[in-house]
């Protein structure tokens, strides 16, 4: 068989590149996925209770890019959702990212006020300070605060999530949830935020709904690679698998997500509640919040992070540290020798991309090849 464009992986990056090639270059695309559904880890479905569930954990879309927002808006309407997360610290619910409101939840008003004044004096109002930066301050009170937040918010959560401490990982990992010197309790501040009204899967179906796109599920690249020819291959799977592990495995974290359904209207006070200190799971998501769906039931997911093991679970999070990056760079060197094969997405690029970055990465590649 011969196709113009073969896309391996029908997750967000594969869908975006397939969509743009089919729509704007009017070329044919075959997109395959080893799973039995499209959407990769953004896949969602509606449960009998009328609640939309994200099978791989909560996904909230946000971007500052007008271009990306308008691009997706061709395929979906949006529920204008702004995400909020609470963390349980010493049994108290506090806004995460830790902000000025969080200060007043855990400390006496006098101490909170003293720390608030010091934070604003040192860094300014409306500033975001990564915890690893805050820990470097020499002020005694700010140092006390930094150690408190480090231990209560980051250390336990990060060890559960990654099996590493914050300083053993690339600073961008904990830097994406900085201490926020603000009263803004939202998890994200991007200009455009929302959840597709009919769900991510429906949006993806629309993005793939072109006569020159064919989708084949339950099909992995190794099943077809000897029987297919292509002009171009877009590979969104794990780069090390493509190169048959010639430089060894790249490690990933995975998630064992347990879903629970209760016959009650509400379980918790926010869409997501983080448990840095207690339990073996990191967080509980309550799905009816995301599209404000009404039901007599509620559905929760509890995320138990675990090591990725081939055949047991999925690669979800690349583990960003210098050693892994160095190994990835060897694979990248191999990739650069090929002239009609492109690697993209979280696994192709071995990067901790969120949805916005995943789309931006696919757009960059599209602009290169078009």
| Interacting residues toward ligand UDP by CB under 6 A | 87, 96, 153-154, 157-158, 161, 173-174, 176-177, 274, 276
User: Smallest gap, in angstroms, from Cβ of residue 101 to ligand UDP?
Assistant: 15
Which residue lies nearer to ligand UDP by CB, 198 or 257? Answer: 257
User: Smallest gap, in angstroms, from Cβ of residue 284 to ligand UDP?
Assistant: 12
Q: Do 249 and 240 contact (CB within 8 A), yes or no?
A: yes
What Rg do the C-alpha atoms of the chain give, in angstroms? 22
The full DSSP string for 161-217 is HHSS-GGGS-HHHHHTS-EE-SS--BS---SEEEEETT-HHHHHHHHT-STTEEEE-
Structural tokens at position 344:
């993209």
User: Smallest gap, in angstroms, from Cβ of residue 73 to ligand UDP?
Assistant: 23
Which residue lies nearer to ligand UDP by CB, 158 or 358? Answer: 158
User: Smallest gap, in angstroms, from Cβ of residue 274 to ligand UDP?
Assistant: 4
User: Smallest gap, in angstroms, from Cβ of residue 354 to ligand UDP?
Assistant: 7
Give the whole-angstrom CA distance, residue 282 versus residue 303: 6
Which residue lies nearer to ligand UDP by CB, 60 or 207? Answer: 60
User: Smallest gap, in angstroms, from Cβ of residue 277 to ligand UDP?
Assistant: 10
Give the whole-angstrom CA distance, residue 71 versus residue 76: 10
The full DSSP string for 339-354 is SSEEE-HHHHHT----
User: Smallest gap, in angstroms, from Cβ of residue 275 to ligand UDP?
Assistant: 9
Q: Do 50 and 198 contact (CB within 8 A), yes or no?
A: no
Q: Do 285 and 271 contact (CB within 8 A), yes or no?
A: yes
Q: Which residues pair with 329 in a beta bridge?
A: none
Which residue lies nearer to ligand UDP by CB, 52 or 158? Answer: 158
User: Smallest gap, in angstroms, from Cβ of residue 129 to ligand UDP?
Assistant: 14
User: Smallest gap, in angstroms, from Cβ of residue 255 to ligand UDP?
Assistant: 8
Q: Which residues pair with 194 in a beta bridge?
A: 61
Give the whole-angstrom CA distance, residue 257 versus residue 240: 25
Q: State how far Cα 134 lies from the chain centre.
A: 25
Chain residue whose CB lies nearest ligand UDP: 157
The number of CA neighbours under 13 Å toward the Cβ of 32 is 18
Which residue lies nearer to ligand UDP by CB, 154 or 234? Answer: 154
Q: Which residues pair with 87 in a beta bridge?
A: 94, 274
Q: C-alpha dihedral over 265, 275, 182, 351, to 10 degrees? A: -110
Are β-strands 92-96 and 78-79 bridged in parallel, bridged antiparallel, or unpaired?
Answer: unpaired
Which residue is it, tokens 């010493």? Answer: 90
Give the whole-angstrom CA distance, residue 33 versus residue 29: 13
């Amino acid at each position: 068989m011969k196709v113009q464009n073969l896309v391996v992986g029908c997750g967000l990056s594969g869908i975006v590149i397939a969509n743009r090639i089919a729509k704007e270059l009017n070329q044919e695309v075959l997109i395959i996925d080893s799973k039995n559904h499209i959407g990769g880890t953004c896949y969602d479905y509606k449960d009998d209770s009328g609640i939309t569930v994200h099978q791989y954990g909560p996904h909230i879309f946000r971007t500052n890019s007008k271009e990306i927002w308008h691009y997706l808006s061709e395929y979906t309407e949006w529920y204008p959702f702004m995400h909020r997360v609470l963390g349980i610290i010493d049994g108290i619910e506090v806004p995460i990212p830790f902000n000025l409101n969080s200060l007043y939840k855990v400390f006496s008003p006098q101490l909170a006020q003293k720390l608030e004044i010091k934070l604003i004096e040192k860094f300014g109002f409306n500033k975001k300070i990564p915890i690893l930066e805050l820990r470097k301050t020499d002020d005694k009170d700010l140092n006390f605060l930094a150690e408190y937040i480090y231990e209560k918010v980051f250390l336990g959560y990060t060890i559960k999530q990654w099996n590493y401490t914050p300083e053993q990982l690339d600073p961008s990992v904990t830097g994406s949830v900085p201490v926020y010197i603000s009263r803004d309790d939202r998890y994200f501040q991007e200009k455009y935020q929302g959840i597709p009204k009919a769900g991510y899967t429906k949006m993806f179906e629309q993005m793939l709904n072109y006569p020159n796109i064919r989708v084949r599920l339950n099909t992995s690249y190794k099943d077809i690679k000897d029987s297919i020819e292509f002009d171009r291959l877009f590979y969104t799977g794990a780069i090390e698998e493509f190169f048959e592990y010639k430089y060894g495995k790249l490690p990933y974290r995975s998630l064992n997500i347990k879903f629970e359904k209760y016959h009650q209207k509400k379980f918790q006070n926010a869409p997501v509640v983080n448990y840095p200190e207690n339990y073996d799971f990191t967080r509980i998501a309550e799905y009816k919040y995301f599209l404000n769906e009404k039901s007599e039931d509620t559905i929760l997911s509890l995320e138990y992070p675990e090591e990725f093991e081939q055949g047991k679970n999925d690669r979800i999070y690349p583990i960003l540290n210098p050693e892994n990056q160095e190994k990835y760079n060897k694979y990248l060197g191999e990739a650069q020798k090929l002239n009609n094969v492109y690697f993209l997405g979280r696994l192709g690029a071995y990067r901790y991309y969120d949805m916005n970055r995943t789309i931006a990465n696919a757009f960059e590649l599209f602009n290169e090849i078009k």
